[in-house]
Structure 1
Amino acid sequence: MEIEAAREVRTTCPYCGVGCGVLAKVAADGQVSVRGDPDHPANFGRLCSKGSALAETIDLDGRLLHPEIHGRRTGWNEALDLVASTFSQTIAEHGPDAVAFYVSGQLLTEDYYLANKLMKGFVGSANIDTNSRLCMASSVAGHRRAFGSDTVPGSYEDLELADLVVLVGSNLAWCHPVLYQRIAAAREKRPEMKIVLVDPRRTMTSDIAYMHLAIAPDGDVALFTGLLAWLGQHNALDRAYITAHTTGFGQALFAASALDLAAVAAATGLSEDELGRFYGLFAATAKTVTVYSQGVNQSSSGTDKVNAIVNCHLATGRIGKPGTGPFSVTGQPNAMGGREVGGMANMLAAHMEIENAEHRDRVRRFWSAPDIAQKPGLKAVEMFQGVADGRIKALWIMATNPVDSMPDADAVEAAIKACPFVVVSDVLASTDTVRHAHVRLPATAWGEKDGTVTNSERRISRQRSFLAAPGEARPDWWIIAEVARRMGFAEAFAHETPAQIFGEHAALSGFENDGGRDFDIGAYAGVDAVSYASLEPFQWPAPERAVQAEPPPEPVASTERHPIRFFASGHFYTADRKARFIAIRPITETRTTPDFPLVLNTGRIRDHWHTMTRTGKSPRLSQHIAEPFVEIHPADAQHHGIGDADIVRVSSPRGDVLVRALITPRQRQGGVFAPMHWTDQFAAKGRLDALTAPLVDPVSGQPALKHVAAHIERFAAKAFGFAVMRQKPERVDASYWAVARCRGGWRVELAFADATDWTAFAGSLFEAPSAEMLAYHDRDAGQHRIAAFDGEHLVGALFVAPGPVAVSRGWAVEQLEEVHASQRERFRIVAGRAGGERPDAGATVCSCFSVGANQIVAAVAAGCTTVEAIGDALKAGTNCGSCRSEIRALIQAGRVQAAE
């Protein structure tokens, strides 16, 4: 038998919008390992913790491997016929707007293109929207208002060239770690470079910040309209640029002047001194980049926030030049690719406008479509409201989990459950959304998929397959094309490869494009299979011809690595080719009430992604934070009688969750923060978006996920528990539980409203009736420890206490892989502690090398006073680098303690 040789494939990371290049190596025995691609211009070899652990997420555990109808395994033909016939019948009986697609930034561009083509060009409805609506729709709307097009003007290199980087609502250290690392490296080379962090929380990104502005929720509009007014008052404007390249400045300045500095301070929660220092720094620094993300976009005033930022850059002429510009960083790997193909309900393909009759006709003619959608469709929140009220009767969800990620998530789940026909194409068999599907279609996952993605700097890269598709899983584009053929559109969906789809997408971008549209990759319209297979990362635009009609185009893509910056010549994509200032009046909005007095801010953590369908498979990614939590300022915790590590009920008018309390001064008083990752698959009651309201920005339709009126109270637990076990528990009979994968098995955090028979509980949790049980009970003290063994191996161990369990989690997890030959070793587990030779490593800081906080603190005490020294001693921070900010924080804390 011939043994396959080892091979290494260049592909792209499937997580955030940084778009890092990855080298996936498949060994001769089939084992996969990953490393950063040193030649990819997005990351130059860097990877974050999630990217570094990609090889741990590609197993087949929990995979959907065969089509199913009502839970019954079936073949592709039956499933596809049912989808096509049901959608066709629904359209015939109720019209095209009775059906909808809800798609995802996890799709590849080729998938996205065909889904958009089918819905808008052949079904004849624009009822296709995407979970990217939840992350960057306000940026799209702001760009279109200011530039006449959805154009991100800058490149990552600008972040390194800038003398001032303003990070607004963007925790780069955890959410876009490689960009954070690039900025941190640039700052180390140029210490005069300054970073300002605008965020209600003092996140780990503040580690490199010259100034942290702990702004009040939704204070960004006031902050940046105040800046515009200040620039005008202090003669810090580029009047020549304003006159030559913009319109509407007078109205924008007049509106911005509605608040004086004292009023801006009141609206932002910042002092006048803080505002003056920031405004002065911005005015004095010509090379300024303002990076913004979800803290700006996920707001009921998100579009105004974007335009308030853009206004300041236009007013100072800081756009289209190296080291300058407003810079939206997207949350998903292909949110930008979805924008290119018109994947949202209010867009057409190739950045054309659905409201524009000329654009509609152009796309219709290119596609030879029978009809083209005549008006925008339902945006994400509206779409699920349409499902709930019966307007939408057939829904196809692709590569996303709206039961967990949409606002008002319980109402979304109820709508999906009541919908007459729901199709879900996904990778996993049992997400909170998949379980409600009438038809389940198995899609290929990262490592099996083949196509392209576009990152936040408009760079298109190949995602290449290096694994065979398992079972009967098929690419999303293939599934869409097969349904389209069965609906009667075979000629228009005759694609056999992703290369053919990409070529058509590129051709449409250049079709009748004389430089009047920003998105143009017409140079790739003739791509063949060979050139597509070897396609190098490139930044758009890449038009077919270097010479076009006047006015001259912006820089043309080349094979070199020089970044392309739009608007260098001052030409925009409005009718008069001038940028538009948008007049914005800041409005202070109060959502809190006496019953819900706190502001809940939602977001992400360092090592998990979205609803954990991928990262939840990796033991190391669950080491850092293994359960849902809420950050609370010490004063708020004291006021509500909450102690550190208590279980907390966080509630809003729409629902409640149970999470662990993390008391920290990094959180702004009056607000709380909780991550959105936990689902019914991983926690008892952790679906955070059950609390958020379907309140949206009126222009973009993006939900306001970061400003929710909330109440917190201590959950009166009678007992707390922690357990490790070799098998994932099928059922956990506890008021609070959170399960996470660990080395050798699973770990579970627990809390109970009432005491129980702990031995019986342990037996049901471990599901090992024949195991040998050892137990320790101190009923008066409420202490119980139970361990179960199968021969010399630990099956499971449960530790129960009246308060948060103090046992070392790392030590307990290690016992699952140890051999316990002697009775003494077994009783040590029941005792709940390692021997003196096994000190507790503490909470995991470095996931790559399993280095704990206690180890770092000990190294600091021993004389390691730099991140580099910690790396030399413990390896922590020397791989992906995502933990370096936390290491610095521990070093600083050690210095403060020593000084005291």
Structure 2
Amino acid sequence: MKREPDAYAVPSAPAVVETVTRTTCPYCGVGCGVIATVDEGGSVSVKGDPDHPANFGRLCSKGSALAETLSLDDRLLHPEVGGIRASWDEALDLVAGKFAETIREHGPDSVAFYGSGQFLTEDYYVANKLMKGFIGSGNIDTNSRLCMASSVAGHKRAFGSDTVPGTYTDLEAADLVVLVGSNLAWCHPVVFQRIAAAKDKRPDMKVVTVDPRRTATSEIADLHLSIAPGGDVALFNGLLVHLTRAGAVDSAYVADHTVGLTEALNVAAGRSADLEADTGLSRADLDAFFDLFAGTEKVVTVYSQGVNQSVTGTDKVNAIINCHLLTGRIGREGMGPFSITGQPNAMGGREVGGLANQLAAHMDIGNPDDHDRVGRFWQAPALAHEPGLKAVDLFKAVADGSVKAVWIMATNPVDSLPNADEVARALELCPFVVVTEVMKQTDATKYADVLLPALGWGEKDGTVTNSERRVSRQRAFLDAPGEARGDWWILTEVACRMGFASAFAYERPADVFREHAALSGFENEGNRDFDLSGLVDIDDKAFDEMLPVQWPFRAGEPTAQASEDKRFFSAGRFYTPDRKARFIPTEVKPLALDAGFDMLLNTGRVRDQWHTMTRTGKAARLTSHIAEPFAELNPVDADRLGILPAGLVEVTSRYGRAVVRALVTERQRKGSVFVPMHWTGQNSAKGRIDAVVAPPTDPISGQPGLKATAVNTRPYAARWYGFAVLRDRPETIPADYFALGRSRGGYRLELAGRDETLAVDALFDALIAPLPGDERLAYHDRTRHVSRHAVFRNGVLVAALFVGPEPVAASRSYLVDRLSADAMDPRDRLKLLAGRAGAEEPDKGAIVCSCFDVGVNTITEAILAGTAMTVDAVGKALRAGTNCGSCRSEIGRLIDACCVQKTG
């Protein structure tokens, strides 16, 4: 896709040859290698890197569409102060001056940084060094607190260090993969594809999914456990007891390399009689899982946000680890607990101490020896002695005035933190807010006193670390647009202006990386897990050419050391004082609904979107699969509450409310409702689900419980509904409910309102703003209160609007396609007002395969015709599922449903 020009873009010499750059995907923690090609005309294309050991050429739907997210139309391209364009010197002087003034008057803990797993490691390192080392406060935290802080805490309690023991190859070598709280098929699709491919090759390989929802991941499961929310500790405590009774204990490993088993077992056994009630699972399902785990040597337990995002998340992590320590199934091929991170550089942030309770290089802020070591290395006499405020508490401190200056970088806490409306109010009250961003308009940037333009993917340069501890390069292949700069550079400039120039004399990311690697090896004689000292002397050219490398990579080791040599803990040697792992007693704490509420809200991701959609929302094909926020409910709950399929739903808690579309499905557990977290105030009226989420956190990790908020879910009584396709984004959307998304040729818009009388013409004019000379067609059925409008400019569709008293039944895919079509003849214009194609142009239906724009109706017709009875056959006939593979499980469900239909 060609990168769109912009008035503020720095002109560059036209390319004369095609350039090919190996880089890394900026989405999830899988860390896929990407090959980006820029042709002579400046158009960019991407494909998976077949040589990268994380993905071997595979990409998911999001990664495949990266080239479509590089436009400059909505970028922040120059600094702004008070909403007015400013020079870099003016903006940086103001930031440095305000922070210095606040520190002088109120102390170092009156300021804070809030960063992101979207940072490169070099950005993270400089931010952490500046705040903890030279400002002298621990008040730097990150949105990674929201995704993996409980894993960090659980690892440290058990291992003495934040160590992920295994590698991706273990997932393929395992005979049993247990996926706990992880919709891997949608959230980490390439790792899911690796597991699915291994299972195809070895049909005896088993997969168990543990999740209140039967997600796309469950399609490859031999056993799905629809666990009650919060039941994970009970499940793995029960497993620990069963493994002991079944004789599955590795007694030698336990005796030689662990302590604390007796207490952990006593706590687990003390509630075993309540196991069915605590987990919500039948005795038969529990026995099947326990027997499978006990009888299989090679077991990997993969866990993600369903475990971490809980007020008991750290205990959940340790309950899982306890079972692997008991059986000695850790650090060997095909064995071990495996935390998979949500963000592209959550691991890199952990390496440099990006969390408020850490020091760099996996050292502890509260450990006197670590504190002395880092202080000497950085020559930082003001190094913070105490942990800072964790994310949720940080913004509470902003709200109560304890933190008077906050710098938000590469993230959007107004949408992603729990109790998000309070976060917005906190920023509104804060005396000084700085936001470093790629996008000009987000729900956080409107609160900024100073806006600083950052480089985005394809423009910035540095390193990231994936979930298996593999460090990869993210390389620039595009010129910096406008005045945008790298985050490390912005932070360095502020540090210099605050008087710390000698400690921040970086000229390029490689300088930061070398210091990061040197600190990892400083006074490290194998007593710390994180070690990149083998790269201390890497020069600029070697850094530019650096291949993916897995840590530990100690000085003197060969560069291409195999992954098998990178596993931890097969022979013990943990990072506790006695080098033994700790069994951690984990108590069951059943969830209870608050009085006055009758359901539990679970939040998470969908297949084709990422975080708050600032990047993925720009790619039209990524909105084709799921175009608006939804509430997934079980049919029993929907019937009980009077909620109709595709109707609107109001989800309310003590903290806020959201309005979303109803998705009624038996895949959802009764008593629970799932709503995705991607929609913001930029693309929806009431879709910010984290405004509803409760703020309590895990007492150990500080991670909020984003998976279990007490809510009421009720029908939203709209009096009218609408759907529109528009070539241009509307400036205002006068509707109580809306969801706006990109489409080919423009935008698609779902609408609803509570007005007793709707002025359709006024709504149309507000959305479209027709020009003189435009042709307008309209249809009104006053009996049914249905109106349909379309505007054409030179015969080409500009916009169409459908309004009625019920959800609009028009074909979305047909209308969206018309936006990118040529001039329409009069007959086709009338067909457009009907809202669907005629018999000569079959309706492809809702999009299943976004890579090739294949709809559910097209796939269903091929299956019912008998020409495509397997997923591979559908791919051969229609191409669906043959690119990224993210839709293969959905195709499989369609095949199963059609087979039931044919035999029914």
TM-score norm. by structure 1 comes to: 0.98
Q: Is structure 2 residue 851 aligned with structure 1 residue 848?
A: yes
Aligned residues of 1:388 and 1:418 also touching (Cα < 8 A): yes
- Most deviating of 526-535 and 755-764: 755-764
CA distance in 1, matches of 2:73, 2:181: 36
Q: Secondary structure at the match of 1:350?
A: coil
CA distance in 1, matches of 2:681, 2:728: 18
Matching residue of 1:418: 429
Matching residue of 1:571: 573
Letter matched to residue 856 of structure 2: A
Aligned residues of 2:167 and 2:563 also touching (Cα < 8 A): no
Shift of 1:61: 1.5
Aligned residues of 2:720 and 2:753 also touching (Cα < 8 A): yes
Matching residue of 2:733: 732
Matching residue of 1:887: 891
Map 1:754-769 onto structure 2 (within 5 A).
754=755, 755-769=757-771
Matching residue of 1:446: 457
Matching residue of 1:110: 122
Q: Out of 858, 863, 869, which is 1:865 matched to?
A: 869
Q: Is structure 2 residue 801 aligned with structure 1 residue 798?
A: yes
Q: Out of 474, 485, 490, which is 2:496 matched to?
A: 485
Shift of 1:545: 3.8
Letter matched to residue 706 of structure 2: L
Matching residue of 1:721: 722
Letter matched to residue 406 of structure 2: L
Map 1:12-31 onto structure 2 (within 5 A).
12-31=24-43
Aligned residues of 1:124 and 1:371 also touching (Cα < 8 A): yes
Letter matched to residue 404 of structure 1: D
CA distance in 2, matches of 1:674, 1:624: 16
Q: Secondary structure at the match of 1:105?
A: coil
Matching residue of 1:822: 825
Q: Secondary structure at the match of 1:139?
A: helix
Aligned residues of 1:619 and 1:741 also touching (Cα < 8 A): yes
Aligned residues of 1:620 and 1:850 also touching (Cα < 8 A): yes
Letter matched to residue 240 of structure 2: L
Q: Secondary structure at the match of 2:358?
A: coil
Map 1:555-594 onto structure 2 (within 5 A).
558-560=560-562, 562=564, 564-593=566-595
Q: Secondary structure at the match of 1:110?
A: helix
Q: Out of 93, 105, 109, which is 1:97 matched to?
A: 109
Aligned residues of 1:258 and 1:585 also touching (Cα < 8 A): no
CA distance in 1, matches of 2:697, 2:681: 25
Q: Report Cα offsets for 1:650-707 as digits up to 9, x if no partner.
A: 1111111110000000000011000000000000111100001111000000000000
Shift of 1:491: 0.5
Q: Which ranges of structure 1 fall in alignment gaps of 5 or more residues? A: 547-555
Aligned residues of 1:113 and 1:343 also touching (Cα < 8 A): yes
Letter matched to residue 333 of structure 2: P
Q: Report Cα offsets for 1:726-753 as digits up to 9, x if no partner.
A: 0011111111110000000000001121
Q: Is structure 2 residue 137 aligned with structure 1 residue 125?
A: yes
Q: Secondary structure at the match of 1:507?
A: helix
Identity %: 62
Aligned residues of 1:108 and 1:452 also touching (Cα < 8 A): yes
Q: Is structure 2 residue 784 aligned with structure 1 residue 781?
A: yes
Q: Out of 370, 375, 378, which is 1:367 matched to?
A: 378
Q: Secondary structure at the match of 2:499?
A: coil
Map 1:13-162 onto structure 2 (within 5 A).
13-162=25-174
Shift of 1:822: 2.7
Shift of 1:228: 0.4
Letter matched to residue 570 of structure 1: G
- Most deviating of 505-514 and 563-572: 563-572
Q: Secondary structure at the match of 1:750?
A: strand
CA change 1:761–1:182 in 2 (3 A) is same
CA distance in 2, matches of 1:811, 1:838: 9
Q: Report Cα offsets for 1:612-667 as digits up to 9, x if no partner.
A: 00000000000000001000100100011111000111111111111000000000
CA distance in 2, matches of 1:585, 1:708: 20
Matching residue of 1:530: 541
Aligned residues of 1:138 and 1:297 also touching (Cα < 8 A): yes
Shift of 1:773: 1.2
Aligned residues of 2:76 and 2:438 also touching (Cα < 8 A): yes
Q: Which ranges of structure 2 fall in alignment gaps of 5 or more residues? A: 1-12
Q: Secondary structure at the match of 2:357?
A: coil
Matching residue of 2:4: none
RMSD: 1.0
Matching residue of 2:622: 621
CA change 1:819–1:2 in 2 (3 A) is closer
Shift of 1:559: 4.2
Matching residue of 2:814: 811
Aligned residues of 1:220 and 1:268 also touching (Cα < 8 A): yes
Q: Secondary structure at the match of 1:721?
A: strand
- Most deviating of 60-69 and 558-567: 558-567
Aligned residues of 2:625 and 2:849 also touching (Cα < 8 A): yes
Equivalent pairs counted in the alignment come to: 889
Moved over 3 A (4+): 556-563
Matching residue of 1:184: 196
Q: Report Cα offsets for 1:77-120 as digits up to 9, x if no partner.
A: 00000000110111111100000000000000000000000000
Shift of 1:563: 5.7
Shift of 1:821: 4.3
Q: Is structure 2 residue 662 aligned with structure 1 residue 639?
A: no
CA distance in 2, matches of 1:178, 1:851: 21
Shift of 1:370: 2.6
CA distance in 2, matches of 1:631, 1:487: 50
Shift of 1:819: 2.8
Letter matched to residue 203 of structure 1: T
Aligned residues of 2:14 and 2:40 also touching (Cα < 8 A): no
Matching residue of 1:508: 519
Matching residue of 1:269: 280
Q: Out of 249, 259, 268, which is 1:237 matched to?
A: 249
Letter matched to residue 861 of structure 1: L
Shift of 1:3: 4.6
Q: Out of 288, 292, 296, which is 2:299 matched to?
A: 288
Aligned residues of 1:655 and 1:691 also touching (Cα < 8 A): yes
CA distance in 1, matches of 2:369, 2:90: 40
Map 1:372-411 onto structure 2 (within 5 A).
372-411=383-422
Matching residue of 1:750: 751
CA change 1:769–1:756 in 2 (3 A) is farther
CA distance in 2, matches of 1:419, 1:526: 44
CA distance in 2, matches of 1:267, 1:785: 53
Aligned residues of 1:557 and 1:564 also touching (Cα < 8 A): no
Aligned residues of 1:592 and 1:599 also touching (Cα < 8 A): no
Letter matched to residue 27 of structure 1: D
Q: Secondary structure at the match of 1:422?
A: strand
Q: Is structure 2 residue 688 aligned with structure 1 residue 687?
A: yes
Matching residue of 1:549: none
- Most deviating of 759-768 and 674-683: 759-768
Q: Secondary structure at the match of 2:334?
A: coil
Q: Out of 18, 23, 47, which is 1:6 matched to?
A: 18
Shift of 1:386: 0.6
Shift of 1:573: 0.3
Letter matched to residue 421 of structure 2: D
- Most deviating of 527-536 and 764-773: 764-773
Q: Is structure 2 residue 287 aligned with structure 1 residue 247?
A: no
Aligned residues of 1:820 and 1:826 also touching (Cα < 8 A): no
Matching residue of 1:329: 340
CA distance in 2, matches of 1:45, 1:409: 38
CA distance in 1, matches of 2:337, 2:559: 21
Shift of 1:347: 0.2
Aligned residues of 2:726 and 2:747 also touching (Cα < 8 A): yes
CA distance in 2, matches of 1:820, 1:802: 31
CA distance in 1, matches of 2:565, 2:531: 16
- Most deviating of 229-238 and 287-296: 229-238
Q: Secondary structure at the match of 2:178?
A: strand
CA distance in 1, matches of 2:678, 2:15: 41
CA distance in 2, matches of 1:82, 1:371: 23
CA distance in 2, matches of 1:817, 1:366: 59
